[in-house]
Amino acid sequence: MTDPTPSSSRLLKISGVFARWLTRLVLGLGVVFALAWGALHVWIVPRIGDFRPQLESAASRALGVPVRMGTVTARSAGWIPSFELGDVALLDPQGREALHLARVLAAVSPRSLWSLGFEQLVIERPALDVRRTADGRILVAGLDLSGSAGGPDSPARDWFFAQTEVVVRSGTLNWTDEQRDGVTLALTGVDLVVRNSARRHQIRLDATPPDDWGGRFQLAGQFRRPLLSRHPGRWQDWTGQLYADLPRADVSQLRRYADLGVEIRTGRGALRAWVDVGAGQFTGALADLSLNEVSATLGPGLAPLALDDASGRLGWRQLAGGFEFFTQGLQFRTAEGLRWPGGNVFLTYTAGEGRMPAQGELRADRLDLAALTQVADRLPLGTPTHAALSAHPVKGVVDAVQAKWQGRLDALSRYEARGRVSGLAIAGVPSPSVPASTATHPPAGIPGVRGATVDFNLTQAGGTAHLAVADGAIELPGVLEDPLVPLDRLAADVQWQLDGDHIAVQLANVRFANADVDGEARASWKTSDPARSPGHSRFPGVLDLQGTASRANGARVFRYLPLGIPAETRQYVRDAVTQADASGVKFTVRGDLAQVPFVDPRQGEFRISLNVSNATLAYVPAHHQAPGVPAWPPLRQLAGELVFDRAAMFVRGGSARLENSPGVQLSKVETVIANMQHSPTVVVTANALGPLTEMLTMVTTSPLRDTVAPALGQTIATGNADLQLRLALPLHDLNQSRVQGSVTLAGNDVQFSPQSPQLAGVTARLYGGEVRIEGGTRPAANGVEAQTVLRAQGGLTAEGLRAARELEFPSRLAQSASGATTYTAVLTQRRGATDFTLASSLEGMALSLPAPLAKSAELALPLRLAATQLAPAPVTPDGPPVPHDQLQLALGRVAAITYVRDVSGPQARVVRGSIAVGLATDESAPLPDAGVVANVNLDVVDIDAWDRVLSR
């Protein structure tokens, strides 16, 4: 066995000594406590009345004011004795009674006696008058409890908040604030419980306000003070939370007794609030409210905010150099009927300090922008925000948004935001007007949109967004004459970049549709270089737009022509294209928008092309016509390509019909306006095929009636005609219009009336050559019968004769002819009978026919053709008279043919005739009474060659 070491023995001895002394100390304290507790119950309690002077002196020292006690009685029941104080009075400095308490119950304990206080203090039915003076002192029943020399400490407060428990029952409290309007607030049924421990204070107040305030309310608080604090009543050191429950209150009354930072005029309902306190200052608040008929002014210079009802939760917290604000389930309805849907908002803001910029963060959902815009001028949002919302009225709901920023709100240095907005509507803003003397282009405004859903992600350097519009619209002020464009649907992916003053935007996957068009596009836009732009400005910018449309209403093209195109041009397109079904639409706009429509190809490109069908084109709209002048007949059922190319407009490759001329078919229709900006002239070219009578009607009912129509006004025509027409119509002066054309007549009958005027200088193109026509109707005079005489002089070509299939035999002979020759013709009409003669030398035309009709171009071979209408005669001796005509053809001395025909039937029938070929001068072939005789004197006749010619 090993002996303990000397050090271990010493430690055991010291521990034993310490234990003995500790035991003796505890026993000693127990003896002292027992003696004190015994003295309290045996000696002090029965003789408490004898200690009244000592109690008054101790209370006066504790409260700092003179205290007088009428009676002091003790009750000892159990371990904790209690006392009843009667007629307790607190005196003011002048010795007058400031507060009288009829009955006070107090319980003591050794702990409370050690601090010269009470374990419990109960005050029944007190009447307290509490006043804040104009200089900020707090007077309770006339006693100044503000502390000494204006400091934060007060002996009375320290004593009060050192008591273990203070209870006030059924009291009355009158609060008067001389720093406000001095109106007294009277509270009845005041129940107060204050519980204090070493470092904690619990307070609860229940009271009933006046009827105009509302119902009974509750205030409660839990606070703690610093560990080393020696003054329990120094509330400036307290930290904790204050709770208020007002189940039925008129919150407008609060402005009379508390500085809320806002002016509440009206507001009734329920309110619960939790207020955080730090070092005696409000550091945060949380409020649940359900109010009706609220009217409040939230800042100087703001209009009152009027709400029919408001409910939800509001929160605020003070941060170092900033604040935090949030709402949960906040709903309200404005006096105008607009409802806030109950969104949540979380906002933090920290002011800048030194090199550290101001910064903030916002998280929100279900924000009704329309409600926010409507009440924005009543919220303390700052002048820049008010100006922005006033200039850009906004509607829609922010489904979700997260944003962070640095810098002042009117000059952000960095920011980022992402979120989603549905039902977005932003009103477009027209650009400020520019004096006409300085404006080079209609100024574009700020675009707007309606019915949009936007998913966005943006920073100070740019961003992306997906835009979708359903049953909405876009607004383009300063771009289109009618800036609001309705849309059934629109979708686009948008991307943009910001670099100082330079802005660039790209749009991809653009799809759009409305009543006028259905298509897709892509585009890019950027600000212009002011040094190079003709407008010397960054706006309207440089655009590169390309798109197509599968369906379009051609009559609405004018609706989408930009304001850069003159108003007269847009009006012309509107009135000219009145109906059109369009497909295959293509459009391109590329260049600085200050130069639209890019007349100089170096400036850019502006082109719209569309295939139209069932279109109506009034190439000379009614507003260009002089009053009383008939309109140019519009083109109906037009089919072709309609193109706007820079300042030009044209229709090409089209077919159409003329209004009021259903039988006339137009082909190869081309309508061209080479420059719609300067002295626009409409040039219309077309081939027309149809009844000649309809063509004559068109002429006589058009603006040509005062020129050509008088010559044709009483003309009767039958058969079809082929018309090649060219109109040149200066829109600024239609009196300078020019008409050119050529008519091919096939099997026609033309009749002139006696009223038809004389023709002079009329030219036409017939059988490949130009012809000049003169003459007209000569009325009866001086015994001379009325007659119509037309004289024609011109030329024809072998090619023109070959193309005239209606001439039959001459056309077949022309297959062996070449060259051209001249002719003269006379048409005479008298007593309903028509005579016709034609004469030509055939010089200049070569005939490659069998003998005897072969000739070279240099040789002359006089040709004379005469058609004379004869008097009716019977075909048989006993038959009725029938109409006859006589045809005579003489070809030099080579041949002469005479036929008399019966023209009473649908086909003319030769009754008698004579044929003379190759006869000498003294020879002839007399016309027989019936039948046809021939006298031919030729050495050789090549029957096979003539058969080949005639069989063509």
- Tens of pLDDT, residue by residue over 356-393, are 888 999 999 988 888 888 887 787 776 777 777 777 77
The answer to whether residue 626 is domain-embedded is: yes
The answer to whether residue 685 is domain-embedded is: yes
For residues 686 and 816, state if they share a domain.
no
The answer to whether residue 550 is domain-embedded is: no
The residue out of 717, 742, 767 marking a domain boundary is 742
The answer to whether residue 944 is domain-embedded is: yes
Kindly report, residue by residue over 24-45, the tens digit of the pLDDT. Answer: 676 766 666 666 666 666 556 6
Kindly report, residue by residue over 122-166, the tens digit of the pLDDT. Answer: 988 888 888 888 887 878 777 776 654 445 677 778 888 888 899
Q: What does the pLDDT read at residue 709?
A: 47
| Over residues 172-189, mean pLDDT | 86
Whether the CB-CB separation of 131 and 178 falls below 8 Å is answered with yes
Whether the CB-CB separation of 160 and 233 falls below 8 Å is answered with yes
CA 906 to chain centre: 71
Pairing state between β 127-132 and 165-177? parallel
Nearest Cα residue to 403 out of 447, 443, 359: 359
Q: Name the one residue in this structure whose structure tokens are 């967004």.
A: 465
Q: Taking 60 as the threshold, does the pLDDT of residue 751 lie above it?
A: no
Which token pair is 609?
């092309």
Over 265-297, what HEC string results? EEEEEEEEEEEEEECCEEEEEEEEEEEEEEEEE
Nearest Cα residue to 308 out of 267, 273, 275, 278: 267
For residues 730 and 773, state if they share a domain.
no
For residues 898 and 928, state if they share a domain.
yes
The answer to whether residue 437 is domain-embedded is: no
Using a pLDDT cut of 90, give the percent of the chain over it: 26
Please give the C-alpha separations between residue 414 and each of 51, 253, 409, 464, in angstroms, as whole numbers.
75, 44, 10, 17
| Over residues 11-27, mean pLDDT | 71
For residues 803 and 910, state if they share a domain.
yes
For residues 603 and 699, state if they share a domain.
yes
The residue out of 694, 720, 742 marking a domain boundary is 742
How far is Cα 666 from Cα 617, in angstroms, rounded to an integer? 13
Please give the C-alpha separations between residue 743 and each of 689, 692, 739, in angstroms, as whole numbers.
10, 10, 13
- Residues near 162 by beta carbon (within 8 Å), at least 6 away in sequence: 115, 117, 196, 232, 233
Least reliable range by pLDDT among 54-63, 179-188, 340-349, 488-497: 54-63
Our count of domains for the chain comes to 2
Q: Taking 50 as the threshold, does the pLDDT of residue 829 lie above it?
A: yes
Q: What does the pLDDT read at residue 807?
A: 62
- Residue 204 confidence class, pLDDT cut points 50, 70, 90: very high
Name the phi and psi angles at 711, rounded to 5. Answer: -75, -20
How far is Cα 469 from Cα 474, in angstroms, rounded to an integer? 9
- Who has greater pLDDT, 147 or 467? 467
How many Cβ atoms are within 10 Å of 606's Cβ, its own excluded? 26
- Who has greater pLDDT, 900 or 24? 900
Q: Taking 80 as the threshold, does the pLDDT of residue 49 lie above it?
A: no
The answer to whether residue 389 is domain-embedded is: no
**What is the distance in angstroms between the CA of the first residue and the CA of the last residue of the chain?**
158
The answer to whether residue 305 is domain-embedded is: no
* Residue span of the structural domain in which 711 resides: 556-587+598-742
Which token pair is 372?
């926010």
How far is Cα 620 from Cα 641, in angstroms, rounded to an integer? 19
Which token pair is 232?
């329990």
Kindly tell me the number of DSSP H helices and DSSP E strands found in the chain. 12, 47
Q: Taking 90 as the threshold, does the pLDDT of residue 218 lie above it?
A: yes
For residues 794 and 738, state if they share a domain.
no
Three-state DSSP class for 757? coil
Q: Work out the angle at residue 46's Cα, subtended by the Cα atoms of residues 43 and 51, and round it to the nearest 5 degrees.
A: 80
Nearest Cα residue to 186 out of 267, 102, 257: 257
For residues 735 and 760, state if they share a domain.
no
Q: Name the one residue in this structure whose structure tokens are 């006043």.
A: 131
Strands (E), 409-460: 411-426, 448-459
- Residue 401 confidence class, pLDDT cut points 50, 70, 90: very high
Q: Specify the long-range contacts of residues 877-885, CB closer than 8 Å, at least 24 apart.
A: 884/911
Q: What does the pLDDT read at residue 743?
A: 64
Nearest Cα residue to 423 out of 449, 453, 447: 453
Q: What does the pLDDT read at residue 689?
A: 87
- Residues near 359 by beta carbon (within 8 Å), at least 6 away in sequence: 349, 350, 352, 404, 405, 406, 407
For residues 663 and 760, state if they share a domain.
no
- Residue 867 confidence class, pLDDT cut points 50, 70, 90: confident
Pairing state between β 661-673 and 681-691? antiparallel
- Give the burial string for 374-413 (b: 16+ CB within 10 Å, else e): bbbebbebeeeebeebeeebbbbbbbbbebebbbebeeee
Please give the C-alpha separations between residue 305 and each of 100, 262, 380, in angstroms, as whole numbers.
47, 11, 11
Q: What does the pLDDT read at residue 582?
A: 92
For residues 625 and 689, state if they share a domain.
yes
| Over residues 315-333, mean pLDDT | 88
How far is Cα 392 from Cα 448, in angstroms, rounded to an integer? 9
Whether the CB-CB separation of 428 and 419 falls below 8 Å is answered with no
The residue out of 720, 742, 764 marking a domain boundary is 742
Using a pLDDT cut of 70, give the percent of the chain over it: 85
Q: Taking 60 as the threshold, does the pLDDT of residue 754 lie above it?
A: no
Over 291-339, what HEC string results? EEEEEEECCCCCCCEEEEEEEEEEEEEEECCEEEEEEEEEEEEECCCCE
Kindly report, residue by residue over 772-827, the tens digit of the pLDDT. Answer: 888 877 766 666 676 778 888 999 898 887 887 656 667 777 888 899 999 998 88
For residues 738 and 756, state if they share a domain.
no
The answer to whether residue 618 is domain-embedded is: yes
Q: Name the one residue in this structure whose structure tokens are 């200049």.
A: 844
Which token pair is 384?
């820049």
For residues 870 and 737, state if they share a domain.
no
Kindly report, residue by residue over 249-275, the tens digit of the pLDDT. Answer: 888 887 777 666 677 888 899 999 999
For residues 720 and 798, state if they share a domain.
no
Least reliable range by pLDDT among 303-307, 622-626, 637-641: 622-626
Whether the CB-CB separation of 167 and 192 falls below 8 Å is answered with yes
Q: Taking 70 as the threshold, does the pLDDT of residue 565 lie above it?
A: yes
- Who has greater pLDDT, 461 or 13? 461
